[in-house]
Amino acid sequence: MSTVPAAGNVEIFKARTNKWFAWLAWTVAVVGLVVTVASAGPAALPTTAPLLLIALLGWQFFWMPAVVVHDGGVTLENPFRSVLVPWAALVHVDTRYALTLVTAQKGYAAWAAPAPGIWGGRNARPEDLQGLPDTSYGPGKSVRPGDLKSTDSGQAARLVRTRWRDLVESGALAAGDADTAVTVTPRWAAIGGVVLLLAASYWAVAAR
């Protein structure tokens, strides 16, 4: 279950490449199911648990994850938990390994917004370095590869930093409140589904 409010000024970031991986996983699962049924008949369906697991993981790891920026804060929709970081709890936005929302207690990484590999920084264009929120720049206007506009982490960080800056400049927010709680909601249904299909997949393989 998501902790994102039903109403408000909401911006959602999802990595475009993740959707392709999701469709690839679903295609593999569907083709595998069709081939299995065509060759062995409906009686073979109980042995297709590994294919169902692939389909579920395609949704869990690639289609569903998102960074949701809204009036109440930033929600990280990760594979096995949803993390709501209120604006007042936010201390720093980091992009070293992935978009990471840092609070006074700890940091929370976004599955949907990983930082680029070594080639992500080498292929940067001049326009990727311009027009970023001020907090994106280091000494000498340097920019970390994970902050580039062309990267997943950079696009998500730009959304977060822009909304955060606007709230601070308007006087509506005093950032870094250690007393503001972060809400972490486990995705029990997803966890249970993965565990169940893992067990079923083991049985299907062992039964052969």
- Tell me the pLDDT band of 68, cut-offs 50, 70 and 90: very high
The residue to which tokens 């590999």 are assigned: 117
Q: How far is 160 from 53, CA to CA, in rounded Å?
A: 33
Helix (H, G, I), strand (E, B) or coil at 30: helix
Q: Which of 8-12, 84-88, 94-98 has the highest mean pLDDT?
A: 84-88
CA 29 to chain centre: 23
Summarize pLDDT for 103-140 with one digit per residue, the tens: 988 999 999 999 876 555 555 554 444 455 555 545 44
Cβ atoms 153, 99 nearer than 8 A = yes
> Which residue bears the tokens 């991986």?
21
| pTM attached to this predicted model | 0.81
pLDDT at 18 over 50: yes
Amino acid present at 162: T
| Per-residue pLDDT tens over the stretch 30-67 | 999 999 888 887 877 778 889 999 999 999 999 999 99
SS3 at position 149: coil
Kindly state the tokens that stand for 10. Answer: 């909401």
Report pLDDT for 142.
46
Percent of the chain whose predicted confidence (pLDDT) is above 70? 78
Mean pLDDT of 200-205: 83
